[in-house]
Structure 1
């Protein structure tokens, strides 16, 4: 990853002719996938500055101010977030500091520098008590502290600065950082009997596809501001998701479905958060992969990393 003191792929002499994109939270799943796909903007008039939490703590207003003053970006992609769902129940202040106050700081300086804000949110802002795919008009009603902190961040951005694109996504997975797929990958390889909840329904989303979507949005002239839902295609339970991983290793006989009641967690989970993606599809002409399509690709990467 490039330091915040360097622009990605351009010489200092060319910086003045380039528009800058600042990425906050560059060490997370989405941040790493964005770094892998900078070639998608290779022919565009943009340069990208990646910053991690050690370089820019979004809960520190002065650090956010300095990065905006230094680069005066045309776009800011906020991929920084507190995402430990269960831990958020005991660390509510920390979750809200990052997901609400951090979002507020980012939106404040986006407004000051006329920067278009692209912010990542979550399906966990919803109660999940329906069986109909959720549109952007559905009223959020979080059932846990993580979801409440992310919804608070959405509201803060909406109140501060209208030039925002809020992308709600779900069940993010990739070859990077900690995520459900990587946990199941380890258990499947170790051939351990594993019980997974089968009555929580949503859609896994490959972080690489989300990264590509973001670059498509940036390259789309006058993309409308607002909230959008994005996930891969298809519907799954956590058990279905795990099954595809175990099947890759031919150890699916070790996987057992269980109801949510059999696996209590500190944070309550919504039971149904499948997205209606009609709005984003109307704005961008592109093909969205089914969630199963990316799993072998990611597992191949993880398998090679272990050998």
Structure 2
């Protein structure tokens, strides 16, 4: 029996990372070091710590993702999201190993109203976006063969997203207000796991920037409403629930600005796959069915 390839997965406890770890474990030996083994907040130690790890390819899904936390401590965000990301990329380049770095739609300023391609200018409006853009630049500067995969509005087995929040609020009788003046693309971590596997197998020569997202567009309110509609349709709620709209300016507690329109185009991904990614509503229905099977109605 051939040995399984060794996959270094950073950020294995995050929303995307948990899905990736579960998806790849049957076919790959997933190596997911904890902070005590690899502390991305201490970039000066990362290269040395990686020397102790034997792996064949790497995905970096680790990041400081809270916009408000990044705004409070931008230096911390830069250490994790940019400096350490570049060091991991360089180590992989020196070993001639495939490296995929996960980034975000928050690198965009969000002031337009057209779908954003990989060539669109990135002008972040907050410290989180700036740290992630700096990470993209560090990765591609130190590793010309690396792939930077941007994702948006994740849902999946990792939990903790808008679908779970909306469902919990409905069941507890809490207000169902969600922001309706911010747009992006809800995306399935399961689909992203499939696409990433293609990108380190038969599409392993793909490099540069790539948008990994489902097809369509939504506001947070749309996202929540479809989640509730599907939950009712599949017996997880005893009656329909209607959301109501809120505006970004209704949240003065936000320390960081939120870019209003960061809808990414997945045209390059569609070309590479030979088919268009499914719409986010279909992917979300699969997730709702998974929730029902795991937690019951």
Show the counterpart of 1:70.
Answer: 53
Show the counterpart of 1:161.
Answer: 143
Moved runs in structure 1, 4+ residues, more than 4 A? 303-307
Could you tell me how far apart the structure 2 residues matched to 1:252 and 1:266 are?
A: 34
How far residue 85 of structure 1 moved from its aligned partner, in angstroms, is 1.6
Pick one of 44, 47, 72 that aligns with 1:90.
72
Whether contact under 8 Å (2:92, 2:99) holds in the other structure is yes
How far residue 169 of structure 1 moved from its aligned partner, in angstroms, is 1.0
Does residue 141 in structure 1 map to residue 129 in structure 2? no
Could you tell me how far apart the structure 2 residues matched to 1:277 and 1:205 are?
A: 11
Show the counterpart of 2:89.
Answer: 107
How far residue 124 of structure 1 moved from its aligned partner, in angstroms, is 0.3
Show the counterpart of 1:22.
Answer: 8
Does residue 170 in structure 1 map to residue 127 in structure 2? no
How far residue 84 of structure 1 moved from its aligned partner, in angstroms, is 1.0
Show the counterpart of 1:267.
Answer: 256
Does residue 56 in structure 1 map to residue 38 in structure 2? yes
How far residue 151 of structure 1 moved from its aligned partner, in angstroms, is 0.5
Taking structure 1 as the reference length, the TM-score comes to 0.85
Could you tell me how far apart the structure 1 residues matched to 2:120 and 2:53 are?
A: 38
Does residue 119 in structure 1 map to residue 108 in structure 2? no
Could you tell me how far apart the structure 2 residues matched to 1:287 and 1:133 are?
A: 15
Whether contact under 8 Å (1:127, 1:141) holds in the other structure is yes
User: Helix, strand or coil: the match of 2:170?
Assistant: helix
How far residue 185 of structure 1 moved from its aligned partner, in angstroms, is 2.3
User: Which piece of structure 1 moves more, 83-92 or 49-58?
Assistant: 49-58
Could you tell me how far apart the structure 1 residues matched to 2:122 and 2:173 are?
A: 39
Does residue 281 in structure 1 map to residue 270 in structure 2? yes
How far residue 297 of structure 1 moved from its aligned partner, in angstroms, is 3.1
Taking structure 2 as the reference length, the TM-score comes to 0.88
Show the counterpart of 2:287.
Answer: 298
Pick one of 257, 262, 267 that aligns with 2:245.
257
How far residue 20 of structure 1 moved from its aligned partner, in angstroms, is 2.6
Aligned residue pairs, count: 288
Could you tell me how far apart the structure 2 residues matched to 1:257 and 1:278 are?
A: 30
Q: Which runs of no fewer than 5 residues in structure 2 stay unpaired? A: none
User: Helix, strand or coil: the match of 1:86?
Assistant: helix
